Amino acid sequence: MQIAVVDIETTGRTPTEGTIVEIGIAMLDLRTHFISKLFDSVVRENKFLKVYEATSIAESWVFQNSDLKLDDVLEAPLWSQVRVKIQRILNHFPVTAYNKDFDFGFLKSRGIKIPRELPCPMKVATPVLKLPPRYDFHDFKYPSVEESWNYFFPDKPYTESHRAYDDAVHEAEIVYQLYKIGAWKPILNSQ
């Protein structure tokens, strides 16, 4: 079974407070462990220069914590130019994302439909890693990508680049490890 693993980078934490600036989609074959690129592009929404959480667009979290540059986004294809291709990919594959609520929330708010949603690997990894909770209302803390990576690959250090396709590849590797141990199953979520 082949699935798509999506990762996006944004200028804010919610669809109303940020714009999508990059999207990466990796294909993972669960039978063979083969991973390949389906999509990798910086993108620019029309409202890019107007919607962000920082005091200035250049101070947005993504520009401070990755090698993505403001000029990269200013020169990127418009969201409207890549939207159809993204939708075509998501129509073809069952899809997941690490912290699926975040990524899918942005995509759905931009009119993207995700017909075959798979379980969120971050939520599935939570009872596997059993990290101490940040707040009293959770049994365990949701693990970051780096925490999950370090759990499954302790001999392969990784620092999350916060670049969409690179993150999607590493997240696909985590999905595969969760799948191998029987924790993550490619069961479609009912919409």
CATH code for the domain of 44: 3.30.420.10
Task: Indicate the burial class of 67 (C-beta count within 10 angstroms; 0-12, 13-18, 19 or more).
Answer: exposed
Residue 65 has pLDDT above 80, yes or no: yes
Predicted pLDDT of residue 18: 97
Number of domains in the chain: 1
Predicted pLDDT of residue 136: 64
Predicted pLDDT of residue 189: 75
116/191 Cα distance (integer angstroms): 9
Q: Taking the mean position of all CA atoms in its chain, how far away is CA 61?
A: 16
User: What are the strands, taking DSSP E only, across 18-79?
Assistant: 20-29, 35-42
DSSP string spanning 93-161?
A: S-EEETTHHHHHHHHHHTT---SSB---HHHHHHHHH-BPPSSTT-SSBPPPHHHHHHHH-TTS-----
* Span 5-15, average pLDDT: 97
What proportion of the chain, given as a percentage, has pLDDT over 70?
Answer: 97
Predicted pLDDT of residue 153: 98
Amino acid (1-letter code) at residue 136: D
191/185 Cα distance (integer angstroms): 17
Predicted pLDDT of residue 159: 87
In a domain, 187, yes or no: no
Residue 45 has pLDDT above 70, yes or no: yes
In a domain, 185, yes or no: no
In a domain, 174, yes or no: yes
Confidence of residue 139 (pLDDT cuts 50, 70, 90): confident
Other Cβ atoms less than 10 A from the Cβ of 50: the count is: 9
Residue with tokens 């693993």: 5
In a domain, 189, yes or no: no
* Span 51-67, average pLDDT: 96
Taking only the tens place, the pLDDT of each residue in 142-166 is 999 999 999 999 999 888 899 999 9
| 164, 7 contact by CB (below 8 A) | yes
In a domain, 170, yes or no: yes
The whole domain housing 62 covers 2-180
Taking only the tens place, the pLDDT of each residue in 81-137 is 999 999 999 999 999 999 999 999 999 999 999 999 999 999 999 999 999 887 666
189/191 Cα distance (integer angstroms): 6
In a domain, 191, yes or no: no
In a domain, 186, yes or no: no
Task: Indicate the burial class of 112 (C-beta count within 10 angstroms; 0-12, 13-18, 19 or more).
Answer: middle
In a domain, 100, yes or no: yes
Residue 191 has pLDDT above 60, yes or no: no
